């Protein structure tokens, strides 16, 4: 594929990303008030760990002995501090999400090139990872719980890119430390890199590699523990069980435990089996009307949002296959036992925790490059996602796109 041809495709991708990103953000504009991280950044600027009682968000915060805190990782707010200092508390936190999407796209492209894919195939796979997975929706909707997921995913993808290129263990450790300080479950990625160090022990200085990888991660965990202790008098308490959004709304799931084995079947069902819902004609018992299907409010199986993952059945065994599988299991466990399956989500958004490793396994399916059918699946998946992703709020982007352009 010539450089000119690829350049046109890249420009087309940028155009599509800009247009539809603007549209989805417009459709989800009722979330624009979410500014948890900007508010906490303002508190950090004033040497406080709690939110101002006059700027409280609508939910997703902790009320602990009369003070309000965030249970999310603090790193997004730390990053926002200079911007909030200059432009104030209303600086849009979604800027971090959009920047992360761009970083992920470029990183996946470079990672695929390192994995010996051609430029055009790397372009297709980067387009798939950003546009054809739940990452796209999570990155465009300004829900604070989503913001940490897309930022954390960016750090993980950057860590994988570093591993497959320069392999500087200290840099990898810093990136995983940052991911965990954004979304705590992402510390589980450490297992993949530890497994790889053990696998490569004959080629590495084992103790030095362990040391360089783990020092930033241990430091990050220690700082988070101190952060928790200063707020909740316990290094292990993130404050999540005090979430006012859960306690005030009496969600029945958490009555079975915030974390419990009882939640595994439901989470697995959403991840692997939950289909879209039918659109039934008004007044009919079961007659479908256009557009026939709608996104399920609780999510959909990964095969619907990202059909390219069907190619996992053709995945080849490579040296890092078992470390990747072990890493996926470690990253999946917290989501499987968590009571909050997810609502107002397109697909199963918790799959983002392990999606980069799943993508590594998927890439092994294309030994001789991307076949035509794989590109068809990518195209179909993106169209499906763009069409349905805002349907959880009762709209269909492609049907109302003309109204948006007016």
Backbone angles phi, psi at 289, to 5 degrees: -125, 160
Residue where the block lists tokens 């490569």 = 200
- CA angle, 186 as apex, 212 and 349 as ends, to 5°? 155
How much is the average pLDDT of 32-39? 82
Query: Which pLDDT value is given to residue 28?
Result: 57
Res 165 pLDDT > 80 = yes
CB atoms within 10 A of CB 218: 14
Helix (H, G, I), strand (E, B) or coil at 266: helix
What is the reported pTM? 0.91
Q: How far apart are the first and last CA of the chain?
A: 37
Confidence of residue 183 (pLDDT cuts 50, 70, 90): very high
Res 31 pLDDT > 70 = no
Query: Which pLDDT value is given to residue 256?
Result: 76
- % of the chain at pLDDT higher than 70: 87
Lowest mean pLDDT among 73-87, 129-143, 167-181: 129-143
Res 77 pLDDT > 90 = yes
Res 22 pLDDT > 70 = no
pLDDT in tens, 334-344: 999 988 777 77
Res 384 pLDDT > 60 = yes
Maximum Cα–Cα distance across the chain? 71
Non-local CB neighbours of 173 within 8 Å, separated by 6+ positions: 212, 213, 214, 215, 216, 217
What does the alpha-carbon distance between residue 323 and residue 9 come to, in Å, rounded to a whole number? 34
pLDDT, the chain, mean: 87
The tokens describing 137, both together, are 């929706």
Query: Which pLDDT value is given to residue 30?
Result: 47
How many independent structural domains does the chain possess? 1
Res 406 pLDDT > 60 = no
What does the alpha-carbon distance between residue 252 and residue 343 come to, in Å, rounded to a whole number? 14
Query: Which pLDDT value is given to residue 204?
Result: 82
The tokens describing 393, both together, are 């709020």
Query: Which pLDDT value is given to residue 226?
Result: 96
pLDDT in tens, 299-317: 899 999 999 999 999 999 9
Query: Which pLDDT value is given to residue 46?
Result: 93
pLDDT in tens, 191-243: 999 999 999 888 888 889 999 999 999 999 999 999 999 999 999 999 888 88
Query: Which pLDDT value is given to residue 246?
Result: 72
pLDDT in tens, 269-284: 999 999 998 888 887 8
What does the alpha-carbon distance between residue 43 and residue 248 come to, in Å, rounded to a whole number? 25
The tokens describing 21, both together, are 């990103």
What does the alpha-carbon distance between residue 333 and residue 54 come to, in Å, rounded to a whole number? 38
Query: Which pLDDT value is given to residue 251?
Result: 64
Lowest mean pLDDT among 37-41, 46-50, 293-297: 293-297
Confidence of residue 2 (pLDDT cuts 50, 70, 90): very low
Higher per-residue confidence, 148 vs 12:
148
Helix (H, G, I), strand (E, B) or coil at 220: helix
Domain that holds residue 300: 3-405
How much is the average pLDDT of 115-120? 93
CA 93 to chain centre: 15
How much is the average pLDDT of 133-149? 91
Confidence of residue 60 (pLDDT cuts 50, 70, 90): confident
Contact assessment for residue 253 and residue 343, using Cβ atoms and an 8 Å cutoff: no
Q: What share of the chain is helix, strand, coil (3-state, %, to 5)?
A: 65, 5, 30
Query: Which pLDDT value is given to residue 58?
Result: 80
């Amino acid at each position: 594929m010539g450089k000119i041809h690829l350049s046109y495709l890249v420009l087309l991708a940028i155009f599509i990303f800009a247009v539809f990103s603007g549209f989805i953000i417009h459709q989800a504009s009722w979330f624009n008030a979410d500014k948890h991280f900007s508010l906490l950044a303002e508190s950090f600027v004033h040497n406080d760990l709690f939110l101002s009682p006059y700027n409280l968000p609508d939910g997703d915060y902790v009320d602990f002995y009369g003070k309000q805190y965030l249970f999310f990782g603090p790193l997004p707010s730390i990053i926002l501090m200079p911007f909030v200092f200059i432009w104030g508390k209303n600086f849009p936190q979604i800027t971090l999400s959009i920047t992360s999407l761009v970083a992920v796209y470029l990183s996946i492209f470079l990672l695929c090139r390192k994995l010996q894919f051609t430029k055009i195939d790397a372009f297709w796979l980067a387009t798939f990872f950003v546009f054809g997975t739940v990452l796209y929706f999570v990155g465009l909707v300004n829900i604070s719980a989503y913001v940490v997921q897309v930022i954390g995913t960016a750090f993980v993808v950057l860590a994988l890119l570093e591993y497959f290129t320069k392999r500087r263990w200290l840099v990898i450790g810093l990136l995983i430390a940052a991911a965990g300080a954004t979304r705590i479950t992402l510390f589980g990625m450490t297992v993949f890199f530890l497994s790889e160090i053990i696998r490569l022990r004959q080629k590495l200085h084992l103790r030095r590699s362990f040391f360089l990888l783990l020092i930033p991660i241990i430091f990050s965990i220690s700082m988070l523990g101190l952060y928790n202790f200063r707020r909740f008098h316990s290094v292990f308490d993130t404050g999540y069980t005090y979430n006012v959004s859960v306690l005030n709304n009496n969600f029945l799931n958490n009555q079975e435990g915030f974390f419990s084995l009882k939640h595994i079947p439901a989470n697995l069902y959403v991840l692997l089996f939950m289909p879209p819902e039918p659109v039934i004609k008004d007044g009919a018992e079961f007659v479908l009307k256009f557009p026939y299907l709608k996104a399920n409010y609780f999510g959909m199986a990964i095969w619907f949002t990202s059909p390219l993952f069907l190619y996992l059945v053709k995945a080849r065994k490579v040296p890092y296959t078992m470390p990747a599988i072990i890493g996926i299991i470690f990253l999946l466990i917290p989501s499987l036992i968590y009571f909050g399956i997810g609502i107002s989500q397109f697909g199963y958004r918790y799959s983002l925790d392990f999606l980069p490793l799943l993508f590594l396994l998927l890439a092994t399916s294309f030994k001789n490059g991307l076949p035509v059918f794989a590109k068809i699946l990518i195209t179909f998946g993106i169209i499906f996602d763009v069409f349905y992703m805002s349907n959880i709020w009762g709209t269909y982007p492609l049907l109302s796109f003309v109204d948006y352009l007016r």
